[in-house]
Structure 1
Amino acid sequence: MRHSKHNPDGDAADQLANELHRARGERRLLDADRTGTALSMEDAYTVQERLTKLRLAEERCHVGYKLGYTSAVMRQQMGVRSPNYGPLLDDMVLRDAAVAENFLQPRVEPEIGVVLAHDVTGTGWLLPELADAVETVHACLEVVDSVWHGYRFTAEQNTADGSSAAGVVLGPPLDVSPLDCHRVTVELFADDTTLATATSAAAGGHPLNSLAWLVDALAARGQFLRKGELVITGGLTAATPLRPGATVSARFGRDVTVSVRGPAHATDASAPAA
């Protein structure tokens, strides 16, 4: 993709957005060595915006954002150096204990989600100010689902694909104040086997730090967060594959558990590459 730092090629952005959109609709994975190989991060967000417009044209609604790579463990797992973000659409929000249908190569990670009490605009927000902007704090499981074969991608390719945003199981509100939402213990497990443990501080030191990063990143593109939007603030552990017929759950604190199940008939689209 030809690009400059501030003026990416519009035709190339549309072409890649259409290719990403078609590939997911056709359950076809893309080879990162052959597609979208010359993206800058500016280009990547332009492609993401074009891709989101294609999705919204299908009578889907924007309901918030997901943050990616706010934790060191996720950056290490995926070989990226900085956070990114992607859109959450209404059909991505799943009920608790949902069956994760129609995914390509789903993986699951526990997250802290926040629902906003009012619009958040501008830059330079401090944590106490952001805490006042949060209506509720939620236990969540994100189901990421990359269109890139085998989760092999650059940060730019991942960003173009919406940071692998595909689903989020929105759990109940947690009995914790927004300012204290970095103190929640989390255990990720599958079929009673513990896979990982963490605290919610893994998301950038505090989930609201991750939220502040998103506010600044959106402002740089002339955008802002709106009242009622959901923001999931980044994976707290390494992501685990969601196997056919398996249930993956996360326990937040002592008494809140959120689960998602892979359908027994699911097929993994990871071979062969497109």
Structure 2
Amino acid sequence: MALNDKQINALAAAYDEAEATRNLTRAPSCLHPDFSMSDAYKVQSAWVDLRLAKGESIVGHKIGLTSRAMQLAVGIDTPDYGVLTDAMVIDDGAVIAADRFIMPRFEVELGFKLKSGLSGPNVTIFDVLNATDWVIPAIEVIDCRSALVDPETNKPLNVRDSIADNAANGGIIWGGLPMRPDEVDLRLVPGILYKNGKIEETGVSAGVLGHPANGLVWLTRELHKVGASLGAGEFVLGGSFTRPVAGQPGDSIQCDFGSMGQVSCSIARAT
């Protein structure tokens, strides 16, 4: 049975409080055994509404779990998506406060800045490339507001929990050398993630559904199912082509995208 509005809003409020206090909340599927994909996106939407009520504004979307590496890392076999707001944007090279995130992990991604909207059930990769103004190297900071394994039941998070948690988004860092989509082979962009100067993960952009633009094809078709679309000016994170790398206070993170440049950040030392 679908959750009612009161239950949906309670779960959204719990995520909001968990992010603010850095105290984990229990995953929805542990509280509601029949928690569905539809319920999950309703919780996500209700949490986004809470953010907007605080003055944040939507800047785009993120696509998650698009690569085999990421699906194996979290034991989930289908993509998901979340919403990006301006409060999630972090400057390239920034020092992130040690207490900003609960369990930050870092991913190598390409972002797509759209010059025109995308909509409908039949969108193709050609439509995505035609609608893209710039392709931008990016780091996504992912964070979970509930435990990866529930301490009471030993039940791991599932894709519905991830969706409700805004697809585990925490922050976005973009930089490097933005390029037009026809200036670079988008299948063969390398990604090398360094932590404290040591290589932790490597990958290539074809790991994202064979071509990172395919992520936007998937997202556009999924949004169409709920009467939504991607708008001109949106920034869309296409999905990670490496496994996530955990960060701790004092760590430095650098992602090398070859000819597309580098993106970096660090986490302040705990005081």
TM-score normalized by structure 2?
A: 0.91
Partner Cα separation in structure 1 for residue 224 and residue 260 of structure 2: 37
Structure 1 residues 69 and 25: alpha-carbon distance in aligned structure 2, compared to 1, 3 A threshold? same
- Report the Cα offset of residue 114 of structure 1: 0.4
Partner AA of 2:197 in structure 1: D
Partner AA of 1:159 in structure 2: I
Give 1:71's match in structure 2, choosing from 67, 74, 77.
67
Deviations along 1:111-131, one digit per CA (max 9) or x if unpaired, are 010000111121211212210
Instruction: Answer yes or no: is the 8 Å Cα contact 1:36–1:157 preserved in 2.
Output: no
Give 1:47's match in structure 2, choosing from 43, 47, 60.
43
- Report the Cα offset of residue 13 of structure 1: 0.9
Deviations along 1:147-188, one digit per CA (max 9) or x if unpaired, are 012464111011001011110101134345258312211111
In the TM superposition, 1:237-252 aligns within 5 A as 237-252=242-257
In the TM superposition, 1:34-183 aligns within 5 A as 34-101=30-97, 102-150=100-148, 152-175=156-179, 177=181, 180-183=185-188
Deviations along 1:63-105, one digit per CA (max 9) or x if unpaired, are 0011110000000000101000001000111111122231111
1:10 matched to 2:38? The reply is no
Question: Which deviates further from its counterpart, 92-101 or 71-80?
Answer: 92-101
Instruction: Answer yes or no: is the 8 Å Cα contact 1:67–1:232 preserved in 2.
Output: yes
1:198 corresponds to = 203
CA RMSD, 1 decimal: 1.7
2:23 corresponds to = 28
Q: Which runs of 5+ in 2 are unaligned?
A: 150-155
Partner Cα separation in structure 2 for residue 193 and residue 78 of structure 1: 23
Instruction: Answer yes or no: is the 8 Å Cα contact 1:16–1:36 preserved in 2.
Output: no
Partner Cα separation in structure 2 for residue 255 and residue 85 of structure 1: 25
Partner Cα separation in structure 2 for residue 130 and residue 109 of structure 1: 22
Give 1:208's match in structure 2, choosing from 203, 208, 213.
213
Partner Cα separation in structure 1 for residue 110 and residue 161 of structure 2: 25
- Report the Cα offset of residue 36 of structure 1: 4.9
Partner AA of 1:131 in structure 2: L
Partner Cα separation in structure 2 for residue 53 and residue 258 of structure 1: 30
Structure 1 residues 21 and 35: alpha-carbon distance in aligned structure 2, compared to 1, 3 A threshold? farther
1:223 corresponds to = 228
TM-score normalized by structure 1?
A: 0.90
SS of 2:176's partner is strand
- Report the Cα offset of residue 37 of structure 1: 4.5
Identity of aligned residues (%): 30
Partner Cα separation in structure 2 for residue 104 and residue 190 of structure 1: 18
- Report the Cα offset of residue 30 of structure 1: 1.9
Would you say how many aligned residue pairs link Structure 1 and Structure 2? 261
Deviations along 1:159-218, one digit per CA (max 9) or x if unpaired, are 001011110101134345258312211111112211121111111111110010000111
SS of 1:122's partner is coil
2:191 corresponds to = 186
Instruction: Answer yes or no: is the 8 Å Cα contact 2:118–2:127 preserved in 1.
Output: no
- Report the Cα offset of residue 255 of structure 1: 5.9
SS of 2:175's partner is strand
Partner Cα separation in structure 1 for residue 89 and residue 161 of structure 2: 23
